[in-house]
Structure 1
Amino acid sequence: MIEVAKRLQNVEEYYFSKKLREVAFLKSQGKPIINLGIGSPDLAPPFKASLALQDSLADDVAHKYQSYQGLPELREAISNFYKRQYNVHVSAQTEVLPLMGSKEGVMHISMAFLNKGDKVLVPNPGYPTYAAVTKLLEAKPVYYKLTEASNWQPDFAALERLDLKRVKIMWINYPHMPTGSNADNKFYDKVIAFGKRHDILIVNDNPYSFVLNEKPISILRYNGAKDVCLELNSLSKTFNMSGWRVGMLIGNYDFVSAVLRVKSNMDSGMFYGIQKGAIEALQCSDMWFQSLNSVYQTRRDLIWQLADHLNCIYDKDATGLFVWAKLPAHVKSEEFTDLVLKEHSIFITPGTVFGSQGEGYVRFSLCATAGIIKEAISRV
């Protein structure tokens, strides 16, 4: 019998991969499932982006292999986007690396900097991929707790008490997924200083900064950030282009070139037409964000109503593509979501998907029309 690699023993199939099969089965049995669990934008991308993709198909180079570093025009568009939206100046030639989705970047960064037995600081709750990739590379995730009482920000005093000798990477993610919490200036100064003090690469995963958020922030705007930080970003949520798989890595030349050495051996360049579409998306005016957030504002108001009917509590100051809601006392997350799925045919995400600190919470997605959310409210 051929055995799988030992590295898979501690890594399970991604929760949503499994759960969506269950949801699909229920739908096939005639259940009218409403999916409020997945953060896959249902709105259209910018029209000019789609048009640019279509028009590019007749170009002579459209169907050839593309550069691992992306088109120079795409890197320039990313650089200009960072300057315009975040007030961050980065070199399009040396400090920008387009990615086929930022999830790819989590793996490539980890492969570039981790050796077997190294440690990685992973937020709890947080994006499950951080820990999964760490385990796949036979490194060790060290979970740092985030709590509602601290506005879902790390306790640096507690971090300093940890054995940090083999810690190579710290994952942070603000605006935070799944809670929607935002970090303040003091946090960014602290985490940069922490990284410098212990020679830890700080990686900020930043795909939600424009969704229902009036003050988008990049960690790279802070003093000394480029010395010790990388930032991942994405067009998935910002421009409704999740299926296009367009992400980006921003940071100093040494860090970015190390990741490029991995990427160039792992995949090929991004499809030409997608790059041309991404360039157009990145040039959208602020009117795009205002229009997008107007829709999400309406949906979030309705999700708050749904949460009220389910006796959940939520933070109205949170941002992002989700509503993170606290359950009544002593109610378990997975039991609650299974019950809602069974009784009302509504799929929402249990907080435990994102770590043990997610127990007692659930996450609602805003990626459903107002009409669908109203139907969910009527069922409850």
Structure 2
Amino acid sequence: MIFHSKRISQIPPYVFSSINKKKAELKKKGIDVIDLGIGDPDFSTPLHIVNKLKEELDNPANMKYPSYNGIPELRIAISEFYRRQYGVELDAETEVLILIGSKEGLAHLIPAMIDPGEVVLTPDPGYGVYRTAIQLANGVPFTMPLKKELDFKPELNAIPTTVLELAKLMLLNYPGNPTAATVDIAFFQKVVQFAKKYQIPVAHDFAYNMITFDNYEAPSILQAEGAKDIAVEFGSFSKTYNMTGWRIGYVVGNRSMIKALAVVKNNTDTGQFIPIQKAAAFALASEQSFISQNNAIYKERMMKVIELLNDIGIHAHVPRGSFFIWAEVPQGFTSFEFAETLLQEVGVVVTPGTAFGEGGEGYFRISLSVSIERLVEAGERLKSYYRTLSQ
């Protein structure tokens, strides 16, 4: 017998779980699979951060329950980082909350902000957790299409007034996943003004904040005038510091939204392990030169992939942020068909655009979190496959 709620039956399988299953099946057959699907950095966590964790593990006092809001040391380190990086002042007591990864925080924010049947404005294509969290909270997603001709930014004025009157939250994500789109502070200023007009709180997913190229610096939404009146921003140590498995993140900004999120969290978890929090605080305060070094490697990989794609006639946007490439599917394929073909025919995993919503049709996503040698190998396999088709 199968036991679950009705809402669970509405949640589609997590796309990356399905991809991993197919990948495992091919590996069992002895096929060398190159995974360009999941965005998990291949760089190691910097040694000085790992050593800090080891040091804190030797302190018996760190084995106890943590503070529900996160240890003061980490909240202060985050507030100092925002002052240093963005010129934004944060009250470490009321405007910073520690999360077990930003994914957890985003998922818990939804039920903290909406009641069943209420509307959340969400980008399409967008990170899959947005939509599933809305569904699990019995909310109603209203998709904001992200189109190439608008540089993958939502057309806010195209949202019907009737929807805006019902909306209780807006979700944004720049640098974007999957589109790798970037924005400037003027965009966030427009968002804040728009949100205030309709009294819609905004949550900005800023997971790729420090992964940028060509002198571009990703702005924080909190740099926009009056943003703290209506917005929060989610940050993560996963991508910048290569700490994906550590599960540590934060949310900053509007204290009312943070207080509501804290109520949900306080009743569902007891916070992240203290040594991990202390290592995260150390990561923010210690030397940061490895970030630009890693970004230089991502940039080299990115340009090589763009070159390889151009060689076979596939158009891709050259990103200024994130470690993803959002490429257009060749004619004759749907997004899913193209991804399935690459996996089965050449042993290369890419993520179909429709994994991120209907607006992703016609695209596929490549992650740059593998070595340049493997990226070149994947490109050569694609070239070989295309030569076979043309014969």
The answer to whether the superposition gives a TM-score over 0.5 is yes
Structure 1, residues 238-266: CA drift from partner, whole Å, max 9, x if none? 11111111110001322211111110110
Structure 1, residues 189-236: CA drift from partner, whole Å, max 9, x if none? 121112111111111001112112431211001111011101111011
Deviates more, 1:317-326 or 1:126-135: 317-326
Alignment partner of 1:371: what SS? helix
Structure 1, residues 52-106: CA drift from partner, whole Å, max 9, x if none? 0001111121222111111111111111111111221111111100100001111
CA distance, structure 2, for counterparts of residue 2 and residue 252 of structure 1: 42
Alignment partner of 2:218 out of 211, 216, 219: 216
Structure 1, residues 164-184: CA drift from partner, whole Å, max 9, x if none? 222101100011111111112
State the superposition RMSD in angstroms: 1.5
CA distance, structure 2, for counterparts of residue 61 and residue 275 of structure 1: 13
- The answer (yes or no) to whether the contact 1:209–1:216 under 8 Å persists in 2 is yes
- The answer (yes or no) to whether the contact 1:86–1:216 under 8 Å persists in 2 is no
Shift in Å, 1:25? 1.8
Alignment partner of 1:245 out of 240, 244, 247: 247
Alignment partner of 1:257 out of 246, 256, 259: 259
Alignment of 1:278-293 (within 5 A): 278-293=280-295
- The answer (yes or no) to whether the contact 1:212–1:319 under 8 Å persists in 2 is yes
Q: Which runs of 5+ in 2 are unaligned?
A: 383-391
- The answer (yes or no) to whether the contact 2:183–2:218 under 8 Å persists in 1 is no
The residue type paired with residue 91 of structure 1 is D
Say whether residues 1:100 and 2:100 are aligned partners.
Answer: yes
Shift in Å, 1:3? 3.5
After superposing on structure 2, the runs of 4+ consecutive aligned residues of structure 1 that deviate more than 3 Å are: none
Give the aligned partner of residue 333 of structure 1: 335
Deviates more, 1:211-220 or 1:96-105: 211-220
The residue type paired with residue 224 of structure 1 is G
Structure 1, residues 114-166: CA drift from partner, whole Å, max 9, x if none? 10110111111111111111011111101111100000011122014452222
Shift in Å, 1:284? 3.7
CA distance, structure 2, for counterparts of residue 13 and residue 68 of structure 1: 31
Alignment partner of 1:229 out of 206, 231, 235: 231
- The answer (yes or no) to whether the contact 1:212–1:296 under 8 Å persists in 2 is no
CA distance, structure 1, for counterparts of residue 172 and residue 100 of structure 2: 20
Alignment partner of 2:48: what SS? helix
Shift in Å, 1:310? 4.2
Alignment of 1:19-168 (within 5 A): 19-168=19-168
The residue type paired with residue 36 of structure 1 is L
CA distance, structure 1, for counterparts of residue 233 and residue 163 of structure 2: 25
Give the aligned partner of residue 189 of structure 1: 189
CA distance, structure 2, for counterparts of residue 150 and residue 379 of structure 1: 33
Alignment of 1:245-324 (within 5 A): 245-324=247-326
The residue type paired with residue 225 of structure 1 is A
CA distance, structure 2, for counterparts of residue 284 and residue 364 of structure 1: 31
Alignment partner of 1:62: what SS? helix
- The answer (yes or no) to whether the contact 2:325–2:366 under 8 Å persists in 1 is yes
Shift in Å, 1:327? 2.2
- The answer (yes or no) to whether the contact 2:238–2:248 under 8 Å persists in 1 is yes
Say whether residues 1:13 and 2:13 are aligned partners.
Answer: yes
Shift in Å, 1:318? 3.8
- The answer (yes or no) to whether the contact 2:212–2:218 under 8 Å persists in 1 is no
- The answer (yes or no) to whether the contact 2:102–2:250 under 8 Å persists in 1 is yes
Alignment partner of 1:144: what SS? strand
CA distance, structure 2, for counterparts of residue 371 and residue 39 of structure 1: 17
- The answer (yes or no) to whether the contact 1:123–1:144 under 8 Å persists in 2 is yes
CA distance, structure 2, for counterparts of residue 187 and residue 93 of structure 1: 29
The residue type paired with residue 23 of structure 1 is K
CA distance, structure 2, for counterparts of residue 157 and residue 260 of structure 1: 32
Number of matched pairs: 380
Q: Which runs of 5+ in 1 are unaligned?
A: none
CA distance, structure 1, for counterparts of residue 286 and residue 86 of structure 2: 15
**Fraction of identical pairs, as percent:** 38
Alignment partner of 1:313: what SS? coil
